[in-house]
Structure 1
Amino acid sequence: MPELNGITVHPDCRHFRGDIPCRPNKEHGYQCGGCPVYAPVLQRILIIKLGAIGDVIRTTPLLRRLRLEYPAAKITWLTLTPAILPQGEIDEVLKLELASVLHLQAREFDILFNLDKDKEACALHDSIRATQKFGYTLHPNGVAWPSNTLANHKFLTGVFDELSQQNEKPYVQEIFELCGYEFRGEEYVFDNHQDKGYDWSALPTGKPRIGLNTGCGDRWTTRLWSDEKWVALITQLQQAGYAPVLLGGTAEDERNRRLQAVTGAAYLGTFPLEQFINLMHQMDLIVTQVTMAMHISIALQKPTVLMNNIFNPYEFDLYGRGQLVQPDRQCVCFYRGTCKLGTSCMEDLPADKVFAAVQASL
């Protein structure tokens, strides 16, 4: 074992930082020589999953399999959104920036998983040293390409709409197979931030809280449901003895204030991401479209009523909690941000249908 000035040092330990004292030293005064929590790293694993936030969240089930297969591994995750990852479950969370790239390219890994087709992610797959590599590489023409045959299925469903529509595998299963594993229903790994002690005394009590996430982002606005539909659903929920709670970010704030004024449904305003996650954790069920809140709801293991129109319904695994509901009219705008017919088929999703799914899911 290496010594510096006669002092034993373990650079191979999972706790060792190299630039500052490790946690066992800081909290207990342990030094490497004779340290009771020395944990030598046997494998070094790098996950490259940059964004979007929802896709980062729904990749976290992979951590459960990796910890099972490689209990002594040091896992590093490179992403654009470090705050969304469960910090205590990953040894090293890095944000995609020059400093991270420079030192990753100087290191060696046993296994590298690149789960993104972004050109920068593919370039990192090719430039970082690893014994085994999975996912996507950079084709000589400068586009993403399967690193090996395991990535073929996920690659093809991403570049041909027809194959994507025919696909019957949930996203998480595709990710597992891309990495060489069979998906066995592993749950997300996620922090509900309950330890933060947020004050939710303004929330209604005594009735099941039904969180209503009313927005869907600005990329695929064909997913939006009208105010009239939300009002109808809220009214039905209130009459049935539920307590609807309006959820959303700054983009939904104006809409939620309108809905609150008309229905009297609870609305506490907008919050930073961690607090918003904990607010969702206070709900008994979440109604949402395909958006970040859907991924958070599934990660929090909440019954989820998912309203979907433009995406392949097989893509989403609700883990047996909740229901997926779709418009009565078949959607003809697969992965489109504007409706080819002028009026989104979401207007053909009745409030009654969503309400029935809420009742069935609780």
Structure 2
Amino acid sequence: MPDLNGVTVHPDCRHFRGDLPCRPNKEHGYVCQGCPVYSPVQQRILIIKLGAIGDVIRTTPLLRRLRQEYPNAFITWLTHTPAILPATDGPDEVLKFELSSIVQLQGRQFDLLFNLDKDKEAGALLNSISATQKFGYALRPHDGVVWPQNELANHKFLTGVFDQLSLENQKPYVQEIFELCGFEFQGEEYVFDTHADKGYQWPMLPAAGRRIGLNTGCGDRWTTRLWSDEKWVSLIQQLQHAGYQPVLLGGTAEDERNQRLHTATGAVYPGTFPLPQFINLVYQMDLVVTQVTMAMHISIALRKPTVLMNNIFNPYEFDLYGRGQIVQPNRECVCFYRGTCKLGTSCMEELSAEKVFAAVQESLSV
């Protein structure tokens, strides 16, 4: 190990900062010479997963495999949404996608680099950051097209550029990501923070009865997924009649709808909250009914039984880990990944509240 002016320094230690004293030095006064928590890093790994919050959440099972395969690795994750990644059991370093992060990453050397996004900026980063092995997607310099870095990425790439192949795909997203990185998916769960240590209190939630979280929105990109107020009211009333406690969930976009549903049925509506508090609210549920949304990913990550209402996506894409069910309209959807319905009226209106209610009961009886 190098000495600086006769002082031993361990820059290979996972605790070493370089610009500031490390935590063991601050908290215990340890120095590198004879440090009892010295932990040399054997591999440095970079994950580039910028994407939406839900996509970042559902990529976290990869952390479990990387920790198993490389127990002494230092894992860095670059993303648009660093706050969603857990502090415990998460990456060693989380960087927000911004110029300062990009500059320093381009000055470093990694053993493994995984770029899991087909965004051009992510592909350009794979090209420009030094790594012994690279996986995922690169940017072709001569035409600016994102392209598989190696054949492991071919399957996931092709299902993203041809609807026909996407419809035929029977691999869940997590399995595709694992294979892209050279691993066999073995049911690894998400790595996620319940935020139970934040002291959130929920006095408005029913103390008795099984709480059924109803996430009533679907975002504004693919509104063909929306379920009508009438359907939600019918489901709520069936749940209440059976002794369940429905709880309305959502963000600011769903606030008006949830206020209406609360008025019509008396179902509990706690309101809207910052993301960590919302995650902890979902943690209080016994089961969650949702569309394909961020709340779906949160529910799966929290290991809650999930009843997923789906129409425009390939159902094989979603792995509920044996907890819950995917329910779809009886009529086949013809609007694959479309934001508007080609037939004028979304097939979601043909998904009955009775079918969703039956899925809730079956999922809770397992």
Q: TM-score range by the shorter chain?
A: over 0.9
Q: Per-residue displacement from partner, 1:37-94 (whole Å, max 9, x unpaired)?
A: 1000000000000011111100000000000000000000000000111123211000
The CA deviation at 1:5 is 2.2
Please give the residue correspondences for 1:206-285 in structure 2 after superposition, counting only pairs within 5 Å.
206-285=208-287
The CA deviation at 1:143 is 1.3
Distance 1:21 1:188 in 2: 32
- SS of residue paired to 2:297: helix
- SS of residue paired to 1:354: helix
Distance 1:2 1:201 in 2: 57
Distance 1:287 1:58 in 2: 18
Q: Does 1:147 align with 2:149?
A: yes
Q: Per-residue displacement from partner, 1:23-49 (whole Å, max 9, x unpaired)?
A: 111221111111101000000000000
Please give the residue correspondences for 1:294-333 in structure 2 after superposition, counting only pairs within 5 Å.
294-333=296-335
1:162 paired residue number = 164
The CA deviation at 1:205 is 1.2
Distance 2:20 2:257 in 1: 48
Is the contact made by 1:243 and 1:265 (CA closer than 8 Å) also made in structure 2? yes
1:102 paired residue number = 103
The CA deviation at 1:17 is 1.1
Distance 1:240 1:20 in 2: 59
* Matched residue type, 2:93: E
Distance 2:209 2:20 in 1: 49
1:2 paired residue number = 2
In structure 2, which of residues 332, 344, 353 is the aligned counterpart of residue 351 of structure 1? Answer: 353
Please give the residue correspondences for 1:15-164 in structure 2 after superposition, counting only pairs within 5 Å.
15-88=15-88, 89-139=90-140, 140-164=142-166
The CA deviation at 1:359 is 0.2
The CA deviation at 1:106 is 0.4
- SS of residue paired to 2:136: strand
Q: TM-score, normalised by structure 2?
A: 0.98
The CA deviation at 1:9 is 1.2
- SS of residue paired to 2:38: coil
Is the contact made by 1:87 and 1:93 (CA closer than 8 Å) also made in structure 2? no
Distance 2:207 2:199 in 1: 18
How many residue pairs get aligned? The number is 362
Distance 1:29 1:348 in 2: 66
Gaps of 5+ in 2: none
Distance 2:99 2:258 in 1: 39
User: Between the two proteins, what is the percent identity of the paired residues?
Assistant: 80
- SS of residue paired to 2:171: coil
Moved beyond 4 Å, runs of 4+: none
Q: TM-score, normalised by structure 1?
A: 0.99
Distance 1:186 1:329 in 2: 33
Distance 2:361 2:115 in 1: 40
Comparing 343-352 with 4-13, greater Cα deviation is found at 4-13
Is the contact made by 1:323 and 1:357 (CA closer than 8 Å) also made in structure 2? yes
- SS of residue paired to 2:59: coil
The CA deviation at 1:168 is 0.2
Distance 2:201 2:26 in 1: 32
Gaps of 5+ in 1: none
Distance 1:126 1:87 in 2: 29
* Matched residue type, 2:216: T
Is the contact made by 1:225 and 1:347 (CA closer than 8 Å) also made in structure 2? yes
- SS of residue paired to 1:87: coil
- SS of residue paired to 2:111: strand
- SS of residue paired to 1:34: coil
* Matched residue type, 1:122: G
RMSD (Å), alpha carbons: 0.6
Q: Per-residue displacement from partner, 1:102-124 (whole Å, max 9, x unpaired)?
A: 00000000000000000000000
